[in-house]
Chains A and B, each alone.
Chain A
Amino acid sequence: MPDTPIRVMLVDDHEVVREGLKALLNRRDTMTVVGEAGTVAQAIEVAARERPDVVVMDLRLPDGTGIEACREIRSQMPDTKVIMLTSYADEDAVMASILGGAAAYLLKQTRGSQLAEAILGVARGESLLDPQVTMRVLEEVRKSASGKRAGSPESQLNENEQKILLLIAEGKTNREIAAEIYLSDKTVKNYVSNILSKLNMKRRSEAAAYIARRTPETNRG
């Protein structure tokens, strides 16, 4: 057991979830909730101020994704661990979360007591995947290990992501991309953030430059 309680921060735009988690976690001597946020911007601001040991992060936030917030917080405070706590088990979100530096990925049906154990675990440096998502992730890893390893970085991208990457390279905005492929702006934004994360890039201009370099007819070098 740590000498001082683990400092926990909760990021979720649903107050009913934050309140429930706070009440359960604060009952324990081993941890204390030191901050809360409901948006990506707030999460980054509160994390910088409170410097939590562990952040419990929702995936879907009004102004962006929890993955973006995770990446930003981890780049400023590499010792802070992030647990994604979300309604979604799709493999893209799981992979993007792991690549974004999350230490754990749990579904919103995890009991408060299990989440508390996960918080203690990641604080000790462990990683944790919800059993329901583990199978999907293993499948994804096996897929990328068999045959795709020698491929180009964009072979990590799924079909939609590859399509969107090419549209980014054409200089299209999220709104234009959304109109072209019949998805919402928000979904496109999530895709773009996953693409950048998978390609280990920070800005869409880097992705555009990468495609320009890779495509022979635009290769001026």
Chain B
Amino acid sequence: MSAALIPLAILMGLVTYPWRVIPLLAPGMHRLPPMVQTYIRLVGPAILASLAAVNTMVVLDAARHPSFHVGVEWLAVGLCALVVVAHRGLLTGLVLAASLVAVLRAAGLAPLP
């Protein structure tokens, strides 16, 4: 069983822990300027939306050249977002998204990646 990514997990843990521990151990460190607090708060939605968009709309060929992609993945991701907006839960959205893609692929209406 591969363990090659465990050092990466340790490095990721090492850069995550200081954010968690510094305000608890250093009094006053948590009093960040409001603008910095707001920026940090906005990183989450920005980077998650970036990940979703790039993974849905950009594909790489064998030579790693990027190109714009339109496919059934757009429908699936949109369906999941609608389910989340309707407060039906992310897990439900993911199940419906994967099911939609599976059905369309089984019916020959969408290619396998």
- Please determine whether chains A and B interact with each other in the same assembly: no
| A-to-B contact residues, CB < 8 Å | none
| B-to-A contact residues, CB < 8 Å | none
